[in-house]
């Protein structure tokens, strides 16, 4: 008995031009709220967006459970053209300059010559920078959400069988194989790539700044490396994969009355004790073994008088290894 789930990641993007000036109107309970509303509308109407859709199988139907939007541009200049009060709301009309970029820059422009800056420009840039960072963090968190449940596939490559040990003790042996879910792996790699340092053709990996993450191909031990300079984003990924979130295989034996007889939980490793990924690896901060097939088995001692009705095999987080 094995529970099934499906995660489908859709990545849709539309690119804004390199730089454009737009006029938008915003409203809110305060002047600042009205300005934030204008900035939000500009991002939605004129910026490119990446849409992440998380679909899960529920009641035999695919349903959207989460949708997050990541803006692809930033505000580099903001000017309030007009402001008024309409009832209890403030209304502002703003002229905004938008640029396509991965990182926000501080705005001083020509005013730097005079050792001064435009307050609205700076506030808009700080807000844009903070929004972009928070959206990027959320994007990564949603990719890693619920790890390891949609990150792997659990396969039963052989049927369970009985074997006899010392002293004529009986054991039921449950073979299994674990592989990466390719859709998850592709989503994870493309997201890390999006936020990583771009490698120039003449650079060596060892010369790149940031924390390295390697995706290994088992067939020839070749790899692709991405370096994250934002340690916060690396920590989000590592935290989702460490300690209580590590993947385990949970086997449960039921009797003819569907009562639980035994539960066994073991870490996902192959028979040579290799894991699907390593964090704090000697040469990498993180190494992902993308083509690995972890074949192993769960062995559980049973009473010779036990009547087994069913055996459930599940892939769970370590924290969920309970009866």
Lowest-pLDDT range of 54-58, 125-129, 178-182 = 54-58
The pLDDT score that the predictor gives to residue 4 is 29
Flag whether pLDDT at 242 surpasses 70. yes
Residue 106 pLDDT greater than 60, yes or no = no
pLDDT value, residue 218? 67
The count of residues in the chain is: 323
Q: What is the Cα–Cα distance from 177 to 298, expressed in whole angstroms? A: 11
Contact 147, 241 (CB under 8 A): yes
User: Does the pLDDT of residue 213 top 60, yes or no?
Assistant: yes
DSSP codes joined into one string, 37-75: HHHHHHHHHHS-EEEEEEEEEETTEEEEEEEEEEE-EEE
Q: pLDDT-based confidence at 296, cuts 50/70/90?
A: very high
pLDDT band at 70 (very low <50, low <70, confident <90, very high): very low
Cα distance between residue 13 and residue 28, in whole Å:
29
**pLDDT confidence of residue 65:** 44
Tell whether the model's pLDDT for residue 132 goes beyond 90. Answer: no
Name the DSSP class of 17.
P
Say if CB 261 and CB 267 are below 8 A apart. Answer: no
The pTM for the full model equals: 0.60
The answer on pLDDT for 185 being more than 50 is: yes
Higher pLDDT: 300 or 53? It is: 300
Task: Look over the chain and give the mean of its residue pLDDT values, rounded to a whole number.
Answer: 75
């Amino acid at each position: 008995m094995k529970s099934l789930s499906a995660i489908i990641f859709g990545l849709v993007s539309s690119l804004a031009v390199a730089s454009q000036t737009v006029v938008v109107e915003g409203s809110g309970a305060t002047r600042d709220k009205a300005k934030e509303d204008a900035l939000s509308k500009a991002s939605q109407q004129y910026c490119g967006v990446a849409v992440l859709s998380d679909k899960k199988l529920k009641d035999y139907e695919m349903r959207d459970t989460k949708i997050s939007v990541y803006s692809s541009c930033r505000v580099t200049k903001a000017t309030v053209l007009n402001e008024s009060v309409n009832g209890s709301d403030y209304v502002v009309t703003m002229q905004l300059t938008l640029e396509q970029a991965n990182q926000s820059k501080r705005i001083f422009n020509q005013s730097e010559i005079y050792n001064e800056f435009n307050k609205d420009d700076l506030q808009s840039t700080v807000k844009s920078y903070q929004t972009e960072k928070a959206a990027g963090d959320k994007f990564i968190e949603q990719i890693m959400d619920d790890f390891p449940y949609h990150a792997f596939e659990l396969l039963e490559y052989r049927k369970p069988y009985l074997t006899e040990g010392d002293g004529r003790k009986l054991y039921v042996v449950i073979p299994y194989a674990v592989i990466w879910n390719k859709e998850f792996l592709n989503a994870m790699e493309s997201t890390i790539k999006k936020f990583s340092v771009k490698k120039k053709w003449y650079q060596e990996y060892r010369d790149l700044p940031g924390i390295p993450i390697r995706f290994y191909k088992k067939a020839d031990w070749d790899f692709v490396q991405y370096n994250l300079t934002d340690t916060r984003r690396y920590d989000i990924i590592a935290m989702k994969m460490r300690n209580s979130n590590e993947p385990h295989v949970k086997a449960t034996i039921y009797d003819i009355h569907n009562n639980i007889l035994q539960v066994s939980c073991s870490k996902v490793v192959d028979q040579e004790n290799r894991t699907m990924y390593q964090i704090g690896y000697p040469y990498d901060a993180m190494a992902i073994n993308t083509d690995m097939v972890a074949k192993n088995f769960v062995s559980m001692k049973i009473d010779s008088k036990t009547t087994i009705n069913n055996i459930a095999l599940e892939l769970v987080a370590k924290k969920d290894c309970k009866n």
